[in-house]
Amino acid sequence: MPQQRLIEINELILEKPPGFVESTIAHEIGHWVLHVNQDEADGTTQQLELNLGNFGKTASDVEEPFVCRGASADTKIASIEWQAQYFASCLLMPRCVLEEKRKGRDLTKWSNLYKLRDEMGVSISNLTNRLQEFDWIYIPKGTREIYPGKDAANGQQRLFG
Ligand SMILES: [Zn+2]
């Protein structure tokens, strides 16, 4: 609810694995920062659309809560959700922190990834997605094999393929 500065989250997430709560909260903060007009929520400005001649809108339209829809087939919603998830990932796993933590560690070992996950307080899929973004590791879809980057994986596949 933007005007109450309230983010509501389903209590069921408390039963999810560690890291899920943090990830969800960071995701919702992402929506707040990226997709909610805070000035409007403060009541200091009106929604831009109102000034552009959308006179059909009433005050109650503006008060409507922003709804996080998670995964969606709708490309507009999917891109908004992707942005919030990417924001969460940057917030929870800043590159500079990971740069420090990867030093002297073999990231192609699951045991090291699980330790890093615990240190960062995220879920293992959050972590592996983030590390793959930097191409520090590469896990081919549907496998549990960790390569030290995409090139390494391709080289390996050529050797055996
Ligand atoms: Zn969302």
Range of the domain at 62: 1-92
What spacing in Å lies between the alpha carbon of 85 and ligand 1's midpoint? 7
In three-state secondary structure terms, 138 is: strand
* Listed residues 31, 64, 92: the one ending a domain: 92
Which two tokens mark 26?
A: 């960071």
**The one-letter amino acid at 75:** T
Same-domain status, 61 and 101: no
pTM here?
0.74
Residue 66's φ and ψ, nearest 5 degrees, are -80, 130
Enumerate residues with CB within 5 Å of ligand 1 (an ion).
68, 81, 84
What spacing in Å lies between the alpha carbon of 88 and ligand 1's midpoint? 10
Same-domain status, 112 and 54: no
The helices-and-strands tally (H runs, E runs) of the chain is 9, 0
Lowest mean pLDDT of 29-33, 43-47, 103-107, 149-153, name the range.
43-47
Segment 22-43, tens digit of pLDDT: 889 999 999 999 998 777 666 6
Segment 52-79, tens digit of pLDDT: 333 444 444 455 678 888 778 888 889 9
What spacing in Å lies between the alpha carbon of 7 and ligand 1's midpoint? 11
What spacing in Å lies between the alpha carbon of 83 and ligand 1's midpoint? 9
* Listed residues 64, 92, 120: the one ending a domain: 92
